[in-house]
């Protein structure tokens, strides 16, 4: 969770197969390709609980600012040919290296860049993406079982 939060604070989660993709993916994702709108009222549930539980006003204010940043970091979420990008200003990219499908669920490893305009920093993360009609669930599986599920609606 700490790695995910640090990455989220440093950049914005992201995608798209285009000329500016840092690392093209060999994983085809036609069933997922498209643009999505973040359902921020359903997303970040665990983080929202931390904000509400925080008693110190300064820490709570800081957590609220991080939550606002996370919402903007997952804006303009898009998937194109195994590459996921999102965010305005700072844009993150996840490029799937491999994936396995089980029904409407995809699990795989992706190379993550926290800021596509500063491509030097990268690391691999396990991802889970699940679809239910026009709804998409997205989870970065880091070193904690407490990662928040993000919910999106296809545009």
What gap in Å lies between CA 5 and CA 15, rounded to an integer? 18
The pTM of the full predicted model, rounded to 2 decimals, is 0.81
Q: Is 135 helix (H, G, I), strand (E, B) or coil?
A: strand
- What's the CATH number for 2-154? 2.40.128
How many angstroms separate the Cα of 56 from the Cα of each of 41, 60, 61, 65?
24, 6, 9, 14
Per-residue pLDDT of 32-73, as tens digits, reads: 999 999 999 999 998 899 999 999 999 999 999 999 988 988
Residue pair 36/44 in contact by the 8 Å Cβ criterion: no
Q: What number of other Cβ atoms are within 10 A of residue 143's Cβ?
A: 9
Domain ranges of the chain: 2-154
Query: Has residue 146 got a pLDDT over 70?
Result: no
């Amino acid at each position: 969770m700490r790695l995910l939060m640090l990455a989220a604070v440093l950049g914005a989660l992201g995608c798209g197969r285009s000329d500016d993709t840092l690392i093209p993916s060999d994983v085809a994702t036609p069933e997922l390709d498209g643009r999505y709108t973040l359902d921020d009222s359903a997303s970040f549930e665990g983080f929202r609980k931390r904000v509400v539980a925080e008693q110190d006003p300064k820490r709570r204010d800081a957590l609220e600012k991080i939550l606002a940043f996370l919402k903007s970091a997952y804006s303009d979420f898009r998937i194109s040919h195994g590459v996921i990008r999102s965010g305005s200003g700072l844009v993150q990219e996840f490029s799937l290296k491999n994936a396995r499908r089980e029904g409407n669920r995809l699990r795989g490893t992706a190379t993550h860049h926290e800021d596509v305009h500063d491509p030097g920093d990268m690391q691999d993360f396990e991802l889970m993406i699940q679809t239910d009609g026009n709804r998409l669930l997205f989870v970065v599986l880091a070193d904690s079982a407490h990662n928040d599920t993000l919910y999106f609606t296809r545009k």
